[in-house]
Amino acid sequence: MKKSKRSAWLGAIAIIVIIILSFFAAPSTQLYIGSTYNRAPNGYGAWYAYMQDRGIPIQRWQKPLEKLKSQKPATLLRIQSSLRPADLLPDEEAWLDKGNNLVILGVRSRVSPSPFYTWQTSPDGRVAIATRRRYTKVQKTQISLGDQFGAVVWHKTQEKGKVFFSTTPYIAANAYQDEIDNFKYLATLVQQKGNQIFVDEYIHGYKDEDIKDAESQGTLIDYLAQTPLLALLIQTGMVLLVLIWSQNRRLGQPVPLETPVIDNSEAYIQALAGILQKAESSDFVVEMVGKEEQLQLQKALGLGSVPLEHQTLLNLWVEKTGKSPAELDTVLKLQARKRRISQRELFTWLAKWRMLRNSQ
């Protein structure tokens, strides 16, 4: 290869590597699903504005849950970016033990036979639900929203607090702005007992300044992970590897390739088997294999290598082994018919011959 062409290929490979690394190193938008700052269809910006327009006290929380100290009982809304188990975390258990409520949207559960898009009846009207996931390990009295396939929203009562779970994180997402009953339903859900309402934005990556300052004090690796420098170092390393590979510089002596030894007999048998299979010549296979199997059986019984008559071989089989001649009679009759059989019958017939050989 000429030097100019080698350089062109090298440049193209380097550009492709950088593009791929940039794609994986780019910030993930998955984290912002369910955030009240998100104006996309999977965000909750419209519902948050709906709550504010109606004068309902609601506040974004951008710190870890253990730092949330409320003067009166409160409800924390957690809208998951990805589905999570229904098990409570330690900080959530502690939150409920203080007499607070918790609403978790986006809990993993089984997929039911229900239609994907359904209308669920609630005191606030018809709620549009776009998921087939239903939760069944719950009593009917605990179901807040559901149908014959199971619960979409249900609750569990702790010693002092109550937690609500939802199989979908999109009950009142921006995509449902035309379904006002969805907004009403979630508003009613978080206003249990007139509690103060908090929306957890910390799980979506939003942090108050004091939390950012506290979490920024880490190791050098943590610092690099938060800056483009780490991605730059990875890209540089990949480009160097490409350079080494393109110049054919091996780490050690070249290892010559070994020429595989071809077994002509095996190759011939495989080729013949392929031809017979395409020609559907199972009768030929039964005849040839049957003769060889019979000779091998005779040799094992000490009866020589001259093919014996059907009944003679059966009598000697009983005399030598003391076993029933039924199985041997079956395989001998099949090969004597000289007719085409199916692939399944052929496999069954070969399996019976194998059993007869192993019984010696």
* DSSP-derived 3-state class of residue 156: strand
> What is residue 51's predicted lDDT score, i.e. its pLDDT?
95
Cβ–Cβ under 8 Å, residues 37 and 203: no
> What is residue 239's predicted lDDT score, i.e. its pLDDT?
72
Predicted confidence (pLDDT) at residue 351 exceeds the cutoff of 70: yes
Sign of the torsion formed by the C-alpha atoms of 318, 321, 326 and 330: negative
Cα–Cα distance list, 206 to 27, 83, 173, 192, 295 (Å)? 14, 19, 19, 26, 81
End-to-end CA distance of the chain: 65
- Cα 254 to Cα 289: distance, rounded to the nearest angstrom: 48
The mean pLDDT value for 78-98 works out to 93
Q: What pTM was estimated for this model as a whole? A: 0.56
Cα–Cα distance list, 98 to 94, 101, 147 (Å)? 7, 9, 32
Cβ–Cβ under 8 Å, residues 83 and 106: yes
The mean pLDDT value for 195-220 works out to 82
Per-residue pLDDT tens over the stretch 147-180: 999 999 999 998 789 999 999 999 999 999 999 9
Cα–Cα distance list, 232 to 85, 113, 222, 226 (Å)? 36, 48, 15, 12
> What is residue 17's predicted lDDT score, i.e. its pLDDT?
64
Residues of the chain with pLDDT > 70, as a percent, come to 66
Largest CA distance in the chain: 103
> What is residue 230's predicted lDDT score, i.e. its pLDDT?
60
Predicted confidence (pLDDT) at residue 53 exceeds the cutoff of 80: yes
The mean pLDDT value for 327-341 works out to 68
Averaged pLDDT of the chain = 80
- Cα 10 to Cα 209: distance, rounded to the nearest angstrom: 45
Tell me which residue of 235, 205, 224, 171 sits closest to 63, measured CA to CA.
205
Cα–Cα distance list, 253 to 240, 247, 248, 249 (Å)? 20, 15, 12, 10
Name 164's bridge partners.
103, 155
* Residue environment code for 25-57, b if the CB has 16+ CB neighbours within 10 A, otherwise e: eeeeeeebbbbbebeeebbbbbbbebbeeeeee
> What is residue 201's predicted lDDT score, i.e. its pLDDT?
95
